[in-house]
Amino acid sequence: MRRLLPLFAGFACAAATIAPAAAYEIDPLTRQPIVAAEGVVPQATAIPREIVPFEGRYKAGTIVVSTTERRLYYVLGDGTAIRYGVGVGRPGFDWSGTKTVVNKREWPDWTPPAQMLRRRPDLPRHMKGGPENPLGARAMYIGGTLYRIHGSNEPDTIGQAVSSGCIRMLNDDVVDLYDRVKVGTRVVVQR
């Protein structure tokens, strides 16, 4: 499947730079770098998930995405939040607003929307869920949009503005967030 990565690079929600296969090993479940080979460091620097001070008017359980910071905050309600690194929409595909999570899926299938297929007719029309799927390990569907908060099979895109509007996360992080979030959770996307 690695030979297909250049063909599929950038689908789902973005274009990405793929590191050479020899640079590091990928965990087949999470699709994250696990071992640097011969002292070579992966292209992307991991953005650690951490609990941070958080001031704001948001109640516990709210998701706040700062597209300029390229961070997602899950508000804990005690003056703190869990901060995750995310990939966000590239110029022309960035957005803001308040929505809710309307659906959740583990290892979701992916069907590119018609708008994406018009831009990229080379994309598959449907892809079963799994480690090679661009939606990664989990997806939370944002109501009233075509967007999702989802994992990624391209960990190097986290911390970048490269998607078609979706909020991308490392698979380990999206699993952590998915377990905390319920359908109906408020999602605030800020520029």
For 119-145, the DSSP string reads H-TTS-S-B-SSTTSTTTTEEEEETTS
Taking 90 as the threshold, does the pLDDT of residue 16 lie above it?
no
Q: Which of 44, 158, 162, 166 is catalytic?
A: 166
Distance CA 173, CA 151 (A): 8
Query: Which CATH number is 93's domain given?
Result: 2.40.440.10
Q: What is the DSSP letter of 186?
A: E
In a domain, 91, yes or no: yes
In a domain, 6, yes or no: yes
In a domain, 53, yes or no: no
In a domain, 66, yes or no: no
Identify which has the larger pLDDT, 1 or 78.
Answer: 78
**Catalytic: 166?**
yes
Give me the number of domains the chain comprises: 1
Residue 101: give the domain boundaries. Answer: 2-47+87-181
3-state helix, strand, coil in the chain (%, to 5): 15, 30, 55
In a domain, 81, yes or no: no
pTM of the model: 0.76
In a domain, 71, yes or no: no
Q: How many CA atoms lie within 13 A of 48 on its CB side?
A: 3
Q: Which of 138, 148, 150, 168 is catalytic?
A: 150
Taking 80 as the threshold, does the pLDDT of residue 37 lie above it?
no
In a domain, 59, yes or no: no
Q: Three-class SS of residue 22?
A: helix
What does the pLDDT read at residue 26? Answer: 44
Closest CA to 147 of 166, 175, 171: 166
**Catalytic: 13?**
no
Across residues 22-48, what is the average pLDDT? 47
Closest CA to 166 of 142, 144, 188: 142
| Strand partners for 36 | 24
**Banded pLDDT at 45 (limits 50, 70, 90):** low
In a domain, 145, yes or no: yes
Q: Beta strand pairing status for 88-89 and 161-163? A: parallel
